[in-house]
Structure 1
Amino acid sequence: MGRLLCQGALYAVWKKVMKPPMTLDRVEYAIALFRALPTLFPSQTAPPKKLGHASVALLHVLQQSEDPTIYLQKRSLSSPVLLFDGSNCHITIGTSPVTTFAKEDLSEGLLYLMGYYYTFHLTYPKCVATLLSVIQTEILEDCIHKRDTTASYKKAMAEWKDFIGKER
């Protein structure tokens, strides 16, 4: 995951989508990256209006006054999500918490999410399907069926491979 974070950050700068401030700590940097990744690998389908930005399909940072149970009940997606409350990270599926881990491991949260998609054979939310498909094929090195390769996935992969070629 560390390699993904570094390549993702370089790729983001290359795409001029995100210029990560050097003053961010590890947790803040992971949050910034979670928020930028769906923009780097956009899907053709917009997120539900209630959701706002596509990154909220992956990560929601709870405000101090925000009740996680109420947030999950109002959430328009039932897919796995990483909740961060400032001190711990929680993976939930629907309204059920399934895993809690330390905030220092927030950067590993995307791999935890992918693990739940694999374990329970869940379908990716359409608003982040391209990003999760890229992680599946490039990070986890698992192929996807040709019929699942959308135009946005093909475009993202072409840009990614072009970038990787330039990096070396």
Structure 2
Amino acid sequence: MTTAPNALDLPTRHPIRTGTLLLATMTTGLTAGVYTDWSNTIMPGLGGVDDRTFVTAFQALDAAIMNPLFLGVEFTGSLLLIALALVLHVRSGRRATLVWLSVALAAYLVSVAITMGVNEPLNQQLRSVADASGDADFTAARALLDEARWTTWNTVRALATLTAFGSLAWSLVIHRRR
């Protein structure tokens, strides 16, 4: 008597390869969710408030996101896990998996470049404002962020990380089919 394989069973012949790919997918999905949330809820929500509220809230949110979980696990961890998954799959000879892992790595690198080249420098400008007190100070501080530019590029990095996430998810499907 034979039994049908369980569709939820992950391959056991390469647990490190499978585990790394799964962790890369999960952490990338979390990062994509953060960027998408900022584009779809946080920035639109802050867009309608006065300058003092905007600057105070943005600075508080920026300080809160600068934590080991986001910086270490999601932002940096995703990049390292995608790269490791790619390296571990090179010897597998699975060309389709390698193509999708390469797409994921390239898309994630785009998001890192946008973060380091656009969003983080704008965040740093707003972080440098510590002694705003009057309305004019808060208006000037808000202008430092360049809200429209920040939001536009955040949306692009959200799309890049969503592309990476989708590519990793498809890599898992292909990996499972072997």
TM-score (norm 1): 0.27
Bigger proportion of residues as strand:
1
Higher helix share: 2
Higher-RCO chain (CA-CA 8 Å, sequence separation at least 6): 2
Q: Larger Cα Rg: Structure 1 or Structure 2?
A: 2
TM-score, with length taken from structure 2: 0.26
